[in-house]
Amino acid sequence: MKQQQAKLYLPNALFMGFAHAIGLFGFGAAMFGFWKWQTVLLGAVLYCVSGLGITVGYHRYFTHRAFRCGKLMQVVLSIMGVMAVENSIKSWVSDHVRHHAKVDTDEDPYDATKGFWYSHIGWILFKIPSRVQDYSSASHLLKDKWTADLVNFQHRYYYPLAIFFAGVLPILIAFLWGDPLGGLVFAGFSRLIIVWHGTFCINSLAHFKHWGSSQPYFLPGTPQDSWIVSLFTFGEGYHNYHHAFPGDYRNGPRWFNFDPSKWLIYFLELFGLTSALVKVPDEKIEAARLEVIRKTA
């Protein structure tokens, strides 16, 4: 199924267009000092909170179960994730599990073989007739009753939750220093589009050859390790390693790999907030690396 056979999905296209217009205006206004410094700082903080909500929460916990955490931590991660406005846990996890299972095929939701534009944002703007939304890929979320109830609640009330935590909450916080408009425009929309494109780059830039990219662990298909992408995705750029070992709580396995998400998960373990961190043995990683070398020799 080629991209040109898809039809524009108007609700997503209108919302994305509106958010980008407001967000870019917010950046322009910030350059001219229109927002208070506290609002700019709030935007940076919410960028980190919502970005880590996706990488640590939606991705490494709810999708790959790379660690364990208690009920309160699950609630916190679900709220952090909804602040990024990237759909509910159930929808996000379903898409990402299919991406791993069907990478670079027509059943891959953000199939990189359809081109950079499609895998970056086109898959959100266009509806492909053959792609039917189902949540069977997220069935592992239903094994624990507490997690299932939390995920179903967030999915059922996703829109009001997203509106409150991504839009209303920044307004309320910025109101404390007399800048509610900045809270909405800059800490809300400007922050959102940066988080979005960081996530989108994992689907696109981390699947295309470029300077700084490599395939040291997983040879089939397009996934790349990219330290450049990791710099603005909280460590998610080591995508080749992630496709080789998706259950590892680390995306960057070496100590010097820039992976703030793994550092946060490890830090939380020190305080008993995470546990059972999944870590692939070094010998297995080295065997995968040597196998790639053998195949490419």
d(CA 147, CA 145): 6
* Of 237, 241, 243, the residue nearest 212 (C-alpha): 237
Per residue in 92-132, pLDDT (tens digit) is 999 999 999 999 998 899 999 999 999 999 999 987 655 56
Which residue is listed with tokens 């940076």?
44
Per residue in 198-252, pLDDT (tens digit) is 999 999 999 999 988 999 999 889 999 999 999 999 999 999 999 999 999 999 9
Per residue in 135-193, pLDDT (tens digit) is 888 889 999 999 999 999 999 999 999 999 999 999 999 999 999 999 999 999 999 99
3-state secondary structure of 224: coil
Instruction: State residue 3's pLDDT score.
Output: 43
Domain map (residue ranges) of the chain: 3-215
* Of 101, 81, 103, the residue nearest 92 (C-alpha): 81
State percent of the chain over pLDDT 70: 96
d(CA 150, CA 132): 24
Instruction: State residue 5's pLDDT score.
Output: 62
Mean of all residue pLDDT scores within the chain? 94
Listing DSSP states for 2-64 in one string gives -GGGSEE-HHHHHHHHHHHHHHHHHHHHHHTT-S-HHHHHHHHHHHHHHHHIIIIIIIIIIIT
d(CA 108, CA 201): 16
Does the pTM exceed 0.85? yes
